[in-house]
C-alpha cells in the first residue's frame, strides 16, 4: 500500500477514525480469545471497553498516571479538541471529546508504525477495565 499522507499531518478526526478501528479490533480479538463466542454476549462485553464513557475513563487514567509521552498527549489533545459534526448517542460532549482523543491517540500510534506501543497501551486498557 502506497502512503501519500504523513500521519502526523492528519487532523484529529481522521486519526480517531483509524484509532476506533484499531482499538475495536483489539478488543474483539481479546474477547474471542477469552472464550466469549455468542454475538449478544460479545457485544455487551465489548461495550465495557469501547463505549465513549469507558474510553474517557481510560484516557483520564492514562493522563493521571502519566502513562503517555508528551507526543502522545499532543495527539490525544488533537483528537479531543477536534470539532466533530456528529453527536454522541450515549455520552455528554466532554466524554465524547475525550473518547475521540483516545481514538486519535491510537490512530496516531498505529499509522506511525508504533505497533508495540499500541499493544502495550491496549493491554493496559484491558487490565484497567477488568479491574473494575
Does 48 fall in a domain? yes
Give CA–CA dist 91/99, Å, rounded.
10
What number of residues does the chain have?
132
CATH code for position 33: 1.10.1520.10
Does 38 fall in a domain? yes
> Greater confidence, 7 or 33?
33
Tell me which of 6, 20, 92, 119 is the catalytic residue. Answer: 20
Does 2 fall in a domain? no
Residues 35-77 pLDDT 10s: 877 888 888 899 999 999 999 999 999 999 999 999 999 999 9
Contact by Cβ (8 Å): 12, 101: yes
Active site residue 92: no
Q: Is 4 exposed, middle or buried (0-12, 13-18, 19+ CB in 10 A)?
A: exposed
Give CA–CA dist 94/53, Å, rounded.
10
pLDDT, average across residues 21-45: 91
DSSP 58: H
Residues 65-114 pLDDT 10s: 999 999 999 999 999 999 877 766 778 889 999 999 999 999 999 999 99
Amino acid at each position: 500500500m502506497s502512503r501519500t499522507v504523513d500521519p502526523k499531518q492528519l487532523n484529529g478526526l481522521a486519526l480517531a477514525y483509524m484509532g476506533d478501528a484499531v482499538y475495536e479490533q483489539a478488543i474483539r480479538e481479546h474477547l474471542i480469545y477469552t472464550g466469549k463466542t455468542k454475538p449478544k454476549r460479545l457485544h455487551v462485553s465489548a461495550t465495557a471497553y469501547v463505549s465513549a464513557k469507558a474510553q474517557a475513563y481510560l484516557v483520564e487514567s492514562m493522563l493521571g498516571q502519566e502513562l503517555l509521552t508528551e507526543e502522545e498527549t499532543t495527539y490525544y489533545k488533537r483528537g479531543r479538541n477536534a470539532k466533530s459534526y456528529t453527536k454522541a448517542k450515549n455520552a455528554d460532549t466532554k466524554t465524547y471529546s475525550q473518547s475521540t482523543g483516545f481514538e486519535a491517540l491510537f490512530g496516531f500510534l498505529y499509522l506511525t508504525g508504533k505497533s508495540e506501543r499500541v499493544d502495550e497501551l491496549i493491554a493496559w486498557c484491558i487490565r484497567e477495565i477488568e479491574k473494575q
